[in-house]
């Protein structure tokens, strides 16, 4: 197997045996990036000199010692650009490390490369990036998912051993599904958000993209924990997320939410997910039908709450303190208007306008307050379901990757791409997507993602359930033929 194709765990075993060095790993990545990223378009920038200096000094005895990890361009790495894939932040260089980056460094990892995304994490296809186009490595004419499309694409294309993304309504799990890798969304508050450029503060969560479930567990070991700089991070003990890996599924109950198996799912996706469910039964798990009755309201609730929070969070980008400023404005008002008009893309403007509307006088109670009440009902649905089962099992996405440009003129259809992922963010649960098969569409072999949703703070159990399936199937070993 080529060096760039190794899992994080396999790579570190080579480091510790002395067979390879972190510099060897960087060399392999740089060659791979040079060979394929011109077609994939995952990376926005690379800080090669700093990465090589860190690799030369890496302590491979540390939990992630010497491992290069790509970073979504919405997470601050001191000295690197952090644009959120937006024109309004072009030219901005991060002045500090996000807590997750500081924790990666403490575990011995090497932040290497800024990867593309939908602007300010608003999108499901990475087509909203103001900077470049990212393609799905399995079919370069198709989208990689979003908003963390670059994070998923570089792992799937073996241009990264692992990457970090953020998940506000499915932005880790959905691109992981469409690109055929593992994407983990931790419980809200399990991982610090300090240093993450905010989209929707009550929904955003940072998590890893990896090639295997074990790798996700190992990265989460480094990321999890209380952070005094993030008041929403939870002051609870950090588990060893690898401790349950390898256990059998005797006594495990998995719930099939009937609202997630509906008309409109791609038949090949449905078939692959149901085959995965049968595999779980063969492994000893019990499958139970459950109901999440308020699921039908999740998309509407999400796009009220998320846009309202985005409207408040993005007010800081005004041309005064950092980022883009309009040239030669006649007065302060014109500077504000032109800076934001020229700096933000169409989707970001759409969401700011919608969010401002639902927060405005006369509409707050009708929209935002009511959405928060329905959010509570959605959370209660999960609580009741988890009284009966250990985790939920369902599709990550109702379809495989669609062609670039197919949804650009239909925002509502684009929003519905996250119908199975949004509710977990509203409830604050943990979730993971892992490969469960392929669909054949117009001559392309495209990955299908299986989603598992777990109780808050039960990532160790969720990872164990995911690992059992992964190790009994070949899907995680598949690679696109770039």
Q: Are 177 and 23 in contact (CB under 8 A)?
A: no
Alpha helices in 321-473 (DSSP H): 332-343, 346-359, 370-385, 411-415, 422-427, 459-471
Distance CA 347, CA 338 (A): 17
Between strands 43-45 and 110-115, the pairing is antiparallel
Asked if 183 and 89 touch (Cβ cutoff 8 Å), the reply is: no
Phi, psi of 414, rounded to the nearest 5 degrees: -65, -45
Contact residues for 443 (Cβ-Cβ < 8 A; gap 6+):
none
- How many angstroms separate the CA atoms of 78 and 105, rounded? 12
Active-site residue, selected from the candidate residues 125, 129, 147, 216: 147
Which of 72, 211, 324, 455 is an active site residue?
72
Q: Which of 7, 86, 129, 171 is the catalytic position?
A: 171
The phi, psi pair for 368, rounded to 5°, reads: -65, -50
Tell the residue number behind the tokens 């460094």, with chain if given: 105
| Annotation says 171 is catalytic | yes
What DSSP string describes 229-277? T-TTS---PPP-TTTTTT---TT-EEEEEGGGS-TTS-HHHHHHHHHHH
Report d(CA 334, CA 356) in Å as an integer: 20
361 is catalytic: no
Q: Are 153 and 129 in contact (CB under 8 A)?
A: no
147 labelled catalytic: yes
Contact 54, 79 (CB under 8 A): no
What does DSSP assign to residue 7?
-
List active site positions: 72, 147, 171
């Amino acid at each position: 197997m080529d060096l760039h194709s190794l899992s994080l765990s396999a790579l570190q075993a080579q480091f510790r045996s002395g067979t390879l060095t972190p510099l060897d790993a960087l060399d392999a990545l740089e060659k791979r990036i040079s060979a394929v990223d011109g077609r994939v378009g995952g990376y926005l920038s690379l800080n090669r000199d700093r990465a090589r200096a860190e690799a030369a000094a890496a302590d491979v005895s540390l939990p992630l010692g010497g491992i290069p990890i790509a970073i979504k361009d919405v997470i601050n790495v001191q000295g690197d650009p952090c644009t959120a894939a937006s024109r309004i932040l072009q030219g901005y260089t991060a002045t500090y490390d996000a807590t997750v980056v500081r924790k990666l460094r403490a575990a011995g990892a090497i932040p290497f490369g800024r990867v593309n995304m939908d602007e300010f994490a608003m999108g499901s296809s990475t087509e909203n990036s103001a900077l470049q186009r990212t393609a799905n490595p399995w079919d370069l004419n198709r989208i990689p998912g979003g908003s963390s499309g670059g994070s998923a694409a570089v792992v799937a294309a073996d241009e990264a051993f692992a990457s970090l993304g953020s998940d506000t309504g499915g932005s880790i799990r959905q691109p992981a599904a469409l690109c055929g890798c593992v994407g983990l969304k931790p419980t809200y508050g399990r991982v610090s958000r300090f240093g993450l450029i905010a989209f929707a503060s009550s929904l955003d969560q940072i998590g890893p993209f990896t090639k295997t479930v074990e790798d996700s567990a190992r990265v989460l070991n480094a990321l999890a924990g209380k952070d005094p700089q993030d008041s929403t991070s939870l002051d609870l003990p950090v588990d060893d997320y690898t401790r349950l890996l390898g256990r059998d599924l005797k006594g495990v109950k998995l719930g099939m939410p009937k609202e997630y198996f509906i008309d409109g799912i791609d038949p090949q996706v449905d078939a692959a997910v149901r085959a995965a469910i049968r595999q779980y039964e063969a492994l000893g798990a019990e499958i139970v039908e459950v109901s999440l009755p308020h699921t039908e309201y999740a998309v509407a609730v999400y796009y009220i709450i998320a846009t309202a929070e985005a409207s408040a969070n993005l007010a800081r980008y005004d041309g005064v303190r950092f980022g883009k400023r309009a040239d030669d404005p006649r007065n302060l008002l014109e500077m504000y208007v032109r800076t934001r008009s020229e700096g933000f893309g169409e989707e970001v403007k759409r969401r700011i306008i919608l969010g401002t509307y639902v927060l405005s006088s006369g509409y707050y109670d009708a929209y935002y307050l009511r959405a928060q009440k329905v959010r509570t009902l959605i959370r209660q649905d999960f609580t009741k379901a988890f009284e009966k089962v250990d985790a939920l099992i369902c599709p990550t996405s109702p379809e495989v990757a669609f062609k670039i440009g197919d949804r650009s003129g239909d925002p509502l259809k684009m929003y519905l791409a996250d119908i199975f992922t949004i509710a977990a963010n509203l409830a604050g649960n943990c979730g993971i997507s892992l490969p469960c098969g392929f669909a054949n569409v117009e001559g392309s072999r495209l990955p299908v993602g299986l989603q598992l949703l777990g109780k808050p703070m039960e990532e160790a159990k969720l990872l164990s359930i995911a690992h059992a399936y992964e190790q009994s199937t070949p899907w995680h070993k598949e690679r696109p033929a770039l």
